[in-house]
Chains A and B, each alone.
Chain A
């Protein structure tokens, strides 16, 4: 049998690992354990709980207040992987710089990023927000309405993204996408990017912003974007939303046009 002394000698390793990866443990605790416990206790989904909190704490019609309340809930109460305030600033800046008319959002989730995009868009711009899960989409719709954006501004599509993208032109009459925001399954980044390329909706100067490219990370997506030569790639380095210690980044891809 292993003697206690050897087990004791392994103690430094254990402490090192705990200290070095403490943020990951915190993340695990907040994103998985607390969620599981609350799900069992309340019987509601996480997104619905978030909506309840916002309904009681935020000012309806004030998008900033809704976003603030969201941030508060995510950092104090539970954890939802929204884009967060810090990376959200990068998003805001990009939107203000480019003033896109047609925006495609992949992965609405709770509508945090939709509200964030919608409030910095010019008048007459339109967001197509794609979400696969119906319950989430329902919550997101409520939140978007609460923030004061109507159907003309935000078009919600409840379908998987790989079905939506090839049919955007036929079903929704989209001619060109100025801005694409990706925040859905990290595995789908690359296939969806390929679909976008094939659909011909991207024009010169179209911007694709992909969240969480470093953690959880989408290496294949980044590799493709760097190698194919169609894009100018910039990675904005930041930390994971609501948790300081984990490094993350957003990839900004500027479509250079097909040569």
Chain B
């Protein structure tokens, strides 16, 4: 049930059908109590009423569940007959309006009575009566109160009391109908048992009655639709909703005319079924979203900020899926299936010197050996223009995929940013600081008491902080000290950044030295030094920044931004130092390549024993491809570096997760019983989930993927694997060994911040990749672009050979600077235009907002004035009416009016129909004024009347006329 309830409350007011449906479900659960209660009350009253036979009959119905079905049918029938009887009576007395209304009131009672009976039957099927007994007693007492008043004012009952009234009248009418119908019902028991009882009753109604019923149904529908916004307690809302729901359900199907009636009922039924199906389908769709339930669970435990990380992770996963699809489907698979097999070319063969160790795990783990000479890296690909029977243009495809992945990433990131920007809407959120905090700070998705406590604490602390902030904004004490401390903190952070940058540069240079001397001489530590250092710095420097930032004494939100900025700078610095060092390495490799090229000719000359080497690229068959000397292939080297970096980064992340979170949690949990201080709340405690650090890690990881994907097509695949594993691992780790954060920040606001960072990283990571592609010539003997001067020459080649001549011509014309420059100018102009228009829109939006605000304020003032005026008038009237005291009804009605105005004075606009309900919610009004007329009588036309309900309004007007 709670689930249904949740969904019902989530759905908007406009689709009240959903709520209808779900309340229906709910009713079986909770409504049972109410029904039971009414039944019990009924039972008691019936017992009190005169005829013992009926009472005994009642008891037997309750006792015998088996008989219930039969009796149900009987009652339907008898009630129908009753209705007909009444109808006849009514036709007879058509002239007298008042009497007819009284009659229709009875009619109504009968209808009601049937309803209660069916309810009762449902109830009797319920076995767990004992649990609810307490509540019954209470409800009986509740019912008993109005019962007293009932006898006094049968006619002057306020409209709002209608329902209660009905309840009270029910039992009597039941007994009436039973007493009348029993002899008949025994004779014919099971004819028309399946007929809709309501239809039966309605069949005998006059068109006016039908009209009224229709009105009532519409009114109920309206009530259901607007119920959500009513200022009632939840319990009352539920009761009213249920009643209206039942009512509508009962009579809606019967309202159609003649033949259409059944069709209409059928339509309504189908509508409900369809709605149920839609709801189920929605649930199904949610179940289909990957990890949705997991994320929801985390959200309920840790709040939306942690969940936002996982949503971001999932989004990243989606993007990587597409990148992987592109590289895997268009580059790796075609090469593996249609390209030349392993061992056919020098570039596809492990060199003779490495063969011995090529299959060692240590080598493979470093992506050397067989892993290096496979589709995973750039160097393996052949420069053959078309491969396989499909004539797949491999080099072109390689190039286009490289460009396409980056272009796609740009597109997606920018599109998401634009979409997020739409949600922001603009406007200044700082002006109503305390109101915002009061009304919007609760996270309604929290479902865990501990998190709720934390949230509560954080809200209170944020309140305290805001108050202190407000106070401090007025006085500025010792601003020089804080300024000094902030400068000092930034200085320290800069030192830290510089130090880490230098360390990385140093390490990379050292690793090049190692590489030149041959890695075999060195151990594991030396070989993995770069990655280790980078990971360690990336892990521990943020902690240091966090400690340093306590010096600055910023507001947590600002401190968080600084922290994010610093970590960003650190990661970026590290990455760029790495790249710069890599550039150096590329230069070295290229120098080496030149030497190899020269040696190559000598080698070939030696091989041919004096014959001049011809310029054919095909290697001589006499030499095995493994023996052919080859260049160092800097592209593969770059790819390898990136892959290693990703692997070590992933490993460090997982290991820190295991040690820092899991083992810490285990230690804290199990050592706590035998430790001399409190581990859980004291020093080590459990770790919190570091959203900002994790998000930044993810973003930089993605940056590395974008940077290295061109030289190592396997990178998206690796990243996909990593993200997949980390999704599960982090979900598990968060749920099992983290505690909710004490410091909270809005998830929705920071979302676009992350996106902006991603965009910056994307740009910064494509820069070096593009630089290397454009400026450095590819290696002469490896990769799809070998033998070309530049990598992008492949486009030109394709244009020349694969397209007709005119296309090349057109392209050359199009790429003419004379055409390109105006086009660029046009683009810039268009962008400028769009930007300025969007700015204008934003401003207009803001103005509109302001206008609305001022209008609202004016309205408030107006209302206040009107209320004051009304109050004054009331005073005058009262003084007038005090003079003629004769009619006490008059004064009481004025009282009611006064109540109205008082309600209006609160500054909210009260619709007549709504005001009735607000009055209904106030028990003193209804209970104390036993002899009052209802104020709602004025609005009865708008609120609509049930057919046959005693129409007091006429009487009231009558009495007024008197």
Interface residues of A in 19-77 (CB under 8 A from B): 19-21, 24
Alpha-carbon separation in the docked complex, A54 to B510 (Å):
63
For residue A228, which residues in chain B have a CB less than 8 angstroms away from its CB?
none
Contact (Cβ within 8 A) B544 A219 = no
* Minimum C-beta distance from A178 to chain B (A): 28
- Asked, given contacts A12-B496, A219-B672, whether A6 binds B533 with beta carbons under 8 Å apart, the answer is yes
* Minimum C-beta distance from A80 to chain B (A): 17
Is B681 interfacial (CB 8 A cutoff)? yes
Is A123 interfacial (CB 8 A cutoff)? no
For residue B529, which residues in chain A have a CB less than 8 angstroms away from its CB?
3, 5-6
Is B506 interfacial (CB 8 A cutoff)? yes
Cβ-neighbour of A24 out of B544, B678, B683 (below 8 A) = B683
Contact (Cβ within 8 A) B536 A9 = yes
Convert B544-555 into 0s and 1s, putting 1 for each residue whose CB lies closer than 8 angstroms to a CB of A: 101100000000
* Minimum C-beta distance from A233 to chain B (A): 14
Of A96-104, A108-116, A210-218, which stretch is located at the interface? Answer: A210-218
Contact (Cβ within 8 A) B540 A16 = yes
For residue A186, which residues in chain B have a CB less than 8 angstroms away from its CB?
676-677
Alpha-carbon separation in the docked complex, A3 to B536 (Å):
13
For residue A10, which residues in chain B have a CB less than 8 angstroms away from its CB?
536, 540
Contact (Cβ within 8 A) B544 A1 = no
Closest to B510 in A: A5
Is A220 interfacial (CB 8 A cutoff)? yes
Convert B655-698 into 0s and 1s, putting 1 for each residue whose CB lies closer than 8 angstroms to a CB of A: 00000000000000000110011111111000000000000000
Alpha-carbon separation in the docked complex, A114 to B583 (Å):
73
Interface residues of B in 532-547 (CB under 8 A from A): 532-533, 536-537, 539-541, 543-544, 546-547
Contact (Cβ within 8 A) B503 A9 = yes
Name, among A5, A19, A21, A219, the residue most crowded by chain B CB atoms within 10 Å (CB to CB).
Answer: A5
- Asked, given contacts A9-B536, A214-B682, whether A15 binds B544 with beta carbons under 8 Å apart, the answer is yes
Name, among B507, B536, B679, the residue most crowded by chain A CB atoms within 10 Å (CB to CB).
Answer: B536
Closest to A5 in B: B507
Decide if the interface of chain B is mainly helix, strand, loop or mixed: helix
Is B523 interfacial (CB 8 A cutoff)? yes
Contact (Cβ within 8 A) A9 B533 = yes
Contact (Cβ within 8 A) B676 A214 = no
- Asked, given contacts A9-B532, A9-B536, A16-B547, whether A217 binds B525 with beta carbons under 8 Å apart, the answer is no
Contact (Cβ within 8 A) A219 B680 = yes
Alpha-carbon separation in the docked complex, A9 to B528 (Å):
13
Is B526 interfacial (CB 8 A cutoff)? yes
- Asked, given contacts A6-B532, A6-B533, A12-B543, whether A219 binds B506 with beta carbons under 8 Å apart, the answer is no
Contact (Cβ within 8 A) B532 A219 = no
Alpha-carbon separation in the docked complex, A64 to B249 (Å):
81
For residue A8, which residues in chain B have a CB less than 8 angstroms away from its CB?
503, 533
For residue A2, which residues in chain B have a CB less than 8 angstroms away from its CB?
525
Alpha-carbon separation in the docked complex, A6 to B652 (Å):
14
Closest to A217 in B: B678
Closest to B678 in A: A217
Contact (Cβ within 8 A) B525 A13 = no
Convert B499-519 into 0s and 1s, putting 1 for each residue whose CB lies closer than 8 angstroms to a CB of A: 010010011001000000000
Convert A153-192 into 0s and 1s, putting 1 for each residue whose CB lies closer than 8 angstroms to a CB of B: 0000000000000000000000000000000001100000
For residue B496, which residues in chain A have a CB less than 8 angstroms away from its CB?
12
Alpha-carbon separation in the docked complex, A9 to B525 (Å):
13
For residue B680, which residues in chain A have a CB less than 8 angstroms away from its CB?
219
Name, among B496, B539, B547, the residue most crowded by chain A CB atoms within 10 Å (CB to CB).
Answer: B547
Contact (Cβ within 8 A) A3 B526 = yes
* Minimum C-beta distance from A28 to chain B (A): 12
Cβ-neighbour of B678 out of A12, A15, A21, A214 (below 8 A) = A214
Alpha-carbon separation in the docked complex, A83 to B948 (Å):
80
- Asked, given contacts A24-B683, A214-B682, whether A187 binds B676 with beta carbons under 8 Å apart, the answer is yes
Closest to A18 in B: B547
Contact (Cβ within 8 A) B503 A5 = yes
Alpha-carbon separation in the docked complex, A9 to B537 (Å):
6
For residue A220, which residues in chain B have a CB less than 8 angstroms away from its CB?
673
Interface residues of A in 200-243 (CB under 8 A from B): 213-220
Contact (Cβ within 8 A) B533 A214 = no
Contact (Cβ within 8 A) A12 B541 = yes
Closest to B496 in A: A12
Closest to B506 in A: A5
For residue B507, which residues in chain A have a CB less than 8 angstroms away from its CB?
5
Contact (Cβ within 8 A) A16 B673 = no
Contact (Cβ within 8 A) B681 A217 = yes
Cβ-neighbour of A219 out of B510, B681, B683 (below 8 A) = B681
* Minimum C-beta distance from B631 to chain A (A): 30
Name, among A186, A187, A219, the residue most crowded by chain B CB atoms within 10 Å (CB to CB).
Answer: A219
* Minimum C-beta distance from A235 to chain B (A): 10
Cβ-neighbour of A12 out of B506, B510, B540 (below 8 A) = B540
* Minimum C-beta distance from B221 to chain A (A): 51
Alpha-carbon separation in the docked complex, A186 to B679 (Å):
14
- Asked, given contacts A3-B525, A19-B547, A20-B547, whether A13 binds B678 with beta carbons under 8 Å apart, the answer is no
For residue B683, which residues in chain A have a CB less than 8 angstroms away from its CB?
21, 24, 215
For residue B544, which residues in chain A have a CB less than 8 angstroms away from its CB?
12-13, 15-16, 19
For residue B539, which residues in chain A have a CB less than 8 angstroms away from its CB?
13
* Minimum C-beta distance from A133 to chain B (A): 18
* Minimum C-beta distance from B683 to chain A (A): 7
Alpha-carbon separation in the docked complex, A214 to B526 (Å):
45
Alpha-carbon separation in the docked complex, A24 to B677 (Å):
13
Alpha-carbon separation in the docked complex, A2 to B525 (Å):
6
For residue A214, which residues in chain B have a CB less than 8 angstroms away from its CB?
678, 681-682
Alpha-carbon separation in the docked complex, A215 to B543 (Å):
24
For residue B537, which residues in chain A have a CB less than 8 angstroms away from its CB?
9, 12
Contact (Cβ within 8 A) A1 B523 = yes
Alpha-carbon separation in the docked complex, A19 to B676 (Å):
23
For residue A187, which residues in chain B have a CB less than 8 angstroms away from its CB?
676
Closest to A9 in B: B536
Convert A239-255 into 0s and 1s, putting 1 for each residue whose CB lies closer than 8 angstroms to a CB of B: 00000000000000000
Alpha-carbon separation in the docked complex, A15 to B540 (Å):
10
Contact (Cβ within 8 A) B682 A16 = no
For residue A3, which residues in chain B have a CB less than 8 angstroms away from its CB?
525-526, 529
For residue B541, which residues in chain A have a CB less than 8 angstroms away from its CB?
12
Alpha-carbon separation in the docked complex, A15 to B525 (Å):
23
For residue A19, which residues in chain B have a CB less than 8 angstroms away from its CB?
544, 547
- Asked, given contacts A6-B532, A12-B540, whether A216 binds B678 with beta carbons under 8 Å apart, the answer is yes
Contact (Cβ within 8 A) B677 A216 = yes
For residue B536, which residues in chain A have a CB less than 8 angstroms away from its CB?
6, 9-10, 13
Alpha-carbon separation in the docked complex, A10 to B543 (Å):
12
Closest to B522 in A: A3
* Minimum C-beta distance from B340 to chain A (A): 41
Alpha-carbon separation in the docked complex, A215 to B675 (Å):
12
Closest to B535 in A: A9
* Minimum C-beta distance from A109 to chain B (A): 17
- Asked, given contacts A3-B526, A6-B536, whether A16 binds B543 with beta carbons under 8 Å apart, the answer is yes
For residue B673, which residues in chain A have a CB less than 8 angstroms away from its CB?
220
Interface residues of A in 80-137 (CB under 8 A from B): none
Alpha-carbon separation in the docked complex, A15 to B547 (Å):
9
Alpha-carbon separation in the docked complex, A82 to B835 (Å):
68
24 A-B Cβ contacts within 8 A?
A1-B523, A3-B529, A5-B507, A6-B525, A6-B533, A9-B503, A12-B537, A12-B544, A16-B543, A16-B544, A19-B544, A19-B547, A20-B547, A21-B683, A214-B678, A214-B681, A215-B682, A216-B676, A217-B682, A218-B678, A219-B672, A219-B678, A219-B680, A220-B673
Binding site for B on A (CB under 8 A): 1-3, 5-6, 8-10, 12-13, 15-16, 19-21, 24, 186-187, 213-220
6 more A-B contacts (CB under 8 A) besides A1-B523, A9-B500? A3-B525, A6-B529, A12-B540, A13-B543, A16-B546, A215-B677
Binding site for A on B (CB under 8 A): 496, 500, 503, 506-507, 510, 523, 525-526, 529, 532-533, 536-537, 539-541, 543-544, 546-547, 672-673, 676-683
Q: Which 3 A-B pairs have the closest CB atoms?
A: A217-B678, A216-B677, A9-B536
